[in-house]
Amino acid sequence: MRDLTSRALDTASALGAAYADVRVVRRVEESITIKTGRLEGVAGGESEGFGVRVLVDGAWGFAASHHLSPAEADRVAAEAVRIARASATALRTPVRLDDRPPAQGRYETPVREDPFAVPLDHKIADLMAADASLRHVDGIAWTETTFGAQREDKTFAASDGSYTQQLITHVGAGLEANAIDGDEHQRRSYPDNGGAWASAGYEFIRGLDLVGNAERVASEARELLTAPPLPPGTRTIVLHPSQLYMQVHESCGHPTELDRAYGTEASYAGTSFLTPDLLGEFRYGSELCDIVADATVEGGLGSFGWDDEGVAAQRVPLIKEGIFVGYLSSRETAPRIGRQSGGAMRADGWNRIPLIRMTNVNLLPRDGMTFDDIVADTDDGLLFETNRSWSIDDRRLNFQFGTEVCREIKGGKVGRLYRNATYTGITYELWRSMDAVGDASSWKMWGTPNCGKGEPGQSGHVGHGVSGARFRNVRVGVVA
């Protein structure tokens, strides 16, 4: 591999690149989908190639190819340089990178049971058993049970001498039951809408206990059909971790991406209300709100050894006791706020450039109350569980979420079920109203394997650790 990476870097340098890096990535994937007992699809995918990124005259160029050969390395490096020179014709501020030390080493996701080595018929049998359990419940229109695995074997080399190799493995699985009556369609899923994902091996899938949760999930889907809609109002809400992680993702993860704050995602993903002038001063949330970006935590979809610029994995405070203190950043953007890169540049494969992406953006647990304690401490509220829909404005201020289930809390007891529940608000108003955060007993990593960003589009795998929390005076039950 060093032959190819050296060839690309040497060619780029010879043609005038002041900096160059190259990533060679081989990705393998496997997916299994079962719908209502029918094996809908099993697929195995393989993709490999390399991408060369160069800085010429302070401007970026990138080119990539699926064909791994010395001659193609020359062609692609030259193409990247040509593209960079074209970029320089519309450049106002030359790019300056921070001075991270050259990266060296190897990283592998800790995996106890290789998901690709588990026999296919065993995996299918595990899913079939879960899917059958869903269908033990009468009144279910259709079910879906899924498994997915992805492994990337990635080599990074840069003109400053960096050379790293990483083997990153992600797995996920989940199930859902769908109940339908007339115009009403209710879905209930477990552990999450779209399945739960982690950096791990098949041991993660075994730990989900899909079979043990299937009948409960199917019963809840059926029960939702006859549940009343959530009445509009302003209420105390408790967000179960299965919804809270999405709240963190959309209203903290994205607005703390420094490229968005500088406008470089304006034409696609949007910008951010958290502009650099607010750093260190803006009250984002209550004093209970501590949020970090942590690429070192085990099991997160945003865990790695180095990002795709060769910056070592690290833990970066974003919100400290409610104050906005940090960003997800890159070697290009961090110097603009007087800092070193926080190591958040990640690319979706060999044919895409790295962008600032979430790593694992985690709301830290607080000693004092378990999640159950929070519910028991709530006299009159609503418990929202499992994300169903999500939307937030282009500056990440006005959000609206829907969940699969919502239950009344009265006198600390969970009661009546509501369907089609939504809540809405303004990001900083919600986080400022947070008056309880669960302790470590309910804190765990959740994963989003489909976070969209960039042009051409990239799908990111990012993680979120949460324990559940309570918020006051939130508008609920938006009616169309």
Under the binding rule (CB under 8 A), the answer on residue 391 touching another protein is yes
Under the binding rule (CB under 8 A), the answer on residue 255 touching another protein is no
- Residues 10-69 touching another protein, rule: CB under 8 A, are 31, 33, 35, 38-49, 51, 59-67, 69
- Shortest distance in whole angstroms from residue 417 CB to another protein: 17
Under the binding rule (CB under 8 A), the answer on residue 144 touching another protein is yes
- Shortest distance in whole angstroms from residue 220 CB to another protein: 18
Phi-psi label, residue 24: left if phi above 0, alpha if psi -120 to 50, beta otherwise: beta
Closer residue to another protein, CB minimum distance, 60 or 327: 60
Under the binding rule (CB under 8 A), the answer on residue 132 touching another protein is no
Closer residue to another protein, CB minimum distance, 255 or 326: 255
Closer residue to another protein, CB minimum distance, 87 or 133: 87
Closer residue to another protein, CB minimum distance, 223 or 394: 394
Residues that bind another protein (rule: CB under 8 A) add up to a total of: 88
CB 88 within 8 A of CB 57: yes
Under the binding rule (CB under 8 A), the answer on residue 283 touching another protein is no
Closer residue to another protein, CB minimum distance, 45 or 207: 45
- Residues 403-442 touching another protein, rule: CB under 8 A, are 420, 422, 424, 426, 428-429
Under the binding rule (CB under 8 A), the answer on residue 480 touching another protein is yes
The whole-angstrom separation of Cα 2 and Cα 7 is 8
- Shortest distance in whole angstroms from residue 246 CB to another protein: 11
CB 361 within 8 A of CB 342: no
Closer residue to another protein, CB minimum distance, 343 or 402: 402
The whole-angstrom separation of Cα 252 and Cα 133 is 37
Among residues 216, 336, 366, 395, the one that binds another protein under rule CB under 8 A: 395
The whole-angstrom separation of Cα 432 and Cα 254 is 18
Span of 181-189, 206-214, 317-325, 338-346 interacting with another protein by CB under 8 A: 181-189
Closer residue to another protein, CB minimum distance, 38 or 410: 38
- Shortest distance in whole angstroms from residue 206 CB to another protein: 19
Site string for another protein, 325-364 (x = CB under 8 A): --------------------------xxx-----------
